[in-house]
Structure 1
Amino acid sequence: MTRSVPWQERLSAGTEAVQEEVIRWYQETPHGQAYVPNMIWGTLQTEAYATVILGQVVDFLGVPDDVPAGVARRMQRQQVLYDGEHHYDVVLGEQALLTSIGGPEVMVEQIDRILRDIELPSLTLGVIPAAAPVDMLPTHAFNLRGDEAHVELVSSGVDVTERSELDLYREAFRRLSDAALHGDDAKELLLKARLFWSETRHG
């Protein structure tokens, strides 16, 4: 079964209500997986980075502007990384480290945040190098939580629960994770991106 809900409907009351829903999803999902090719996974975003992202959402969709409240809830959801009861396998594309969200200052702070948390026991983080061979392309961002895959399209959020489709998402995640660098190798990509943004910041 696939269920699609337009973003303008889901966000008709603003961003805070949806963030509260996402908090419940994460709290109820002890082990989740996420693939995000061109932005930072929401649960690792800094306050400044999240403010830019949610501001873009509000501007694009024309929904009520409650960005500070939505950001506060997004920060609240990050407690699952520190409560000792959850684990998340996350794969980013290297492009996620190089897409300018808020400019160099925001990006340096954001990458420092990831470097700080990359060794959390609750997190397994991989980064796919831009030139890496990937046996699963092209594909869009998606989250796996329990018996559901969540996909965020331009116009809507899609929840997939059909077993055969979920098996494809799980296999896709396995292939993407196999293409990613982990541990010290992932840190090297993070440090490379940090150097880029630091040099950009200083002209």
Structure 2
Amino acid sequence: MSNQAQEARQALGARLRGFRKDAGFASGRALARALDWQESKVSRLENGKQNASEDDIKIWCAATGQQEHIDDLIATVRHIDELWQEWRRLLQTGAEKRQHQGLQVYAKTKVFRIWHPTVIWGTLQTAEYAAETFRQVVDYYEIPDDAEAATAKRLERQQYLYQGNRIFNVLLSEQALYSNFGGPEVMKGQLDRLLAVMRLPRLSLGLVPRSAPLSIWPGNSFSMFDDKLVLVETYSAEFSVTQPREIELYTKAFELLKQSAVYGSAVRDLIFAAIHHFDQMPTD
């Protein structure tokens, strides 16, 4: 869980603990007995170890005479939930909806800072490469197969490369050139696409070579939208970072990663080397 989400959950737990004590329940065990809950549940909620449901909030507030706080606490619970969204729930109707939500964020953003250590950033993907990634998403999360629609929605992002005065600062690891999605022909098409977009005046494409000295460990991929939002993806979830001090950490990480990156002709050389690598691979 992100630090922001965990801090919010702990703060909520502290408020619930205060309500319990103010109501005269000397211990979590006493409240658990009154609610017919397990004592461990009360402890986990008060210590920020478990997400509270909206029903939990209503029951807790009713038992402690704090009904006037129900709406406020439910709003807090929903905010915590937004900070950490499980992929299975986010993708329960397929992948297209999530791609559509991304378009709304892109439309509002002026400066993008992107770090992808193993995969080509979605906005720079070809249709074939994107389709293969979505097929894997569908299989992995066992969600409705809307890979074709999701691919089309992802490709809509590319309009923002050419519209307005947006600035795109994109960092990839050299490994991203070799992570094989779809086989040699798909990969060569994707690498050709990178060579083409490098010419865009508002796109800065850097690559961190495999042997480059690092000033910070690579970590997970993340996308920064102005100084307002960072999205971080893991296998189980995507979480949003909006707290200024946490955003500053990602800004610092991006600058440290840039120290290891190469640009311009050095990037083209690395891409040509990757194309040559896939040229040597047998095709089915």
Measured against the shorter chain, the TM-score band is over 0.9
- After superposition, the CA RMSD in angstroms is 1.3
Match of 1:148 in 2: 229
Q: 2:93 aligns with which of 10, 13, 18?
A: 13
- Give SS of 1:33's match: strand
The residue type paired with residue 148 of structure 1 is: L
- The question of whether the paired residues in 1 share the 8 Å contact of 2:127 and 2:151 is answered with yes
What amino acid is aligned across from residue 217 of structure 2 in structure 1?
L
Q: Percent identity?
A: 36
CA distance in 1, matches of 2:265, 2:238: 34
1:111 maps to which of 191, 212, 216: 191
Distance 2:184 2:201 in 1: 29
Shift in Å, 1:30 = 1.3
Q: Deviation per CA, 1:132-162: give whole Å up to 9, x if none.
A: 0010114111011121111001010000112
Partner Cα distance (2:219, 2:126) in 1: 26
Gaps of 5+ in 2: 6-82
Greater per-residue helix proportion: 2
Deviation for aligned residue 1:178: 1.5
- Rounded Cα–Cα distance in structure 2 between residues aligned with 1:129 and 1:115: 17
**What is the CA-CA distance between 1:27 and the residue it aligns to?**
1.3
Q: What's the CA shift for 1:26? A: 1.0
The 1-side partners of 2:201 and 2:238 are apart by: 29
Asked whether the equivalents of residues 149 and 161 of structure 1 are also in contact (C-alpha less than 8 Å), the reply is yes
Q: Please name the residue that 1:64 is paired with.
A: 144
Residue of structure 1 in register with 2:109 after alignment: 29
Residue 267 of structure 2 is aligned to residue 191 of structure 1: no
CA distance in 2, matches of 1:194, 1:25: 33
* Greater RCO, 1 or 2 (C-alpha within 8 Å, sep 6+): 1
CA deviations on 1:16-65 (whole Å, 9 max, x unpaired) are: 11111111111111111010000100000000000000110010001111
Correspondence 1:139 to 2:219: yes
Q: Is 1:169 the counterpart of 2:258 in the alignment?
A: no
Aligned to 1:46: 126
Task: For residue 271 of structure 2, give the secondary structure of its aligned residue in structure 1.
Answer: helix
Greater CA deviation, 135-144 or 36-45? Answer: 135-144
In the alignment of these two chains, the number of paired residues is 203
Q: Report the TM-score when normalising by structure 2.
A: 0.70
Deviation by residue 1:42-100 (Cα, 9 ceiling, x = unmatched): 00000000000011001000111111100000111111111143111000000000111
How many Å separate the matches in 1 of 2:92 and 2:165?
32
**Structure 1 stretches of 5 or more lacking a match?**
none
TM-score normalized by the length of structure 1? 0.96
Mapped to 2, the partners of 1:133 and 1:19 lie a distance apart of 35
Q: Read off the aligned partner of 1:140 and give its amino acid letter.
A: N
Other-structure match for 1:75? 155
**1:125 aligns to what SS in structure 2?**
strand
Tell whether the 8 Å contact from 2:170 to 2:204 is kept in structure 1 after alignment.
yes
Asked whether the 8 Å contact 2:113–2:223 carries over to 1, the reply is: yes
Structure 1 residue 202: Cα displacement: 6.4
Question: Deviation per CA, 1:81-129, whole angstroms, max 9, x where unpaired?
Answer: 1114311100000000011111101000000000011120121000000
Q: Secondary structure at the match of 1:35?
A: strand
Q: Is the 2:125–2:190 contact (alpha carbons within 8 Å) kept by the matching residues of 1? A: yes
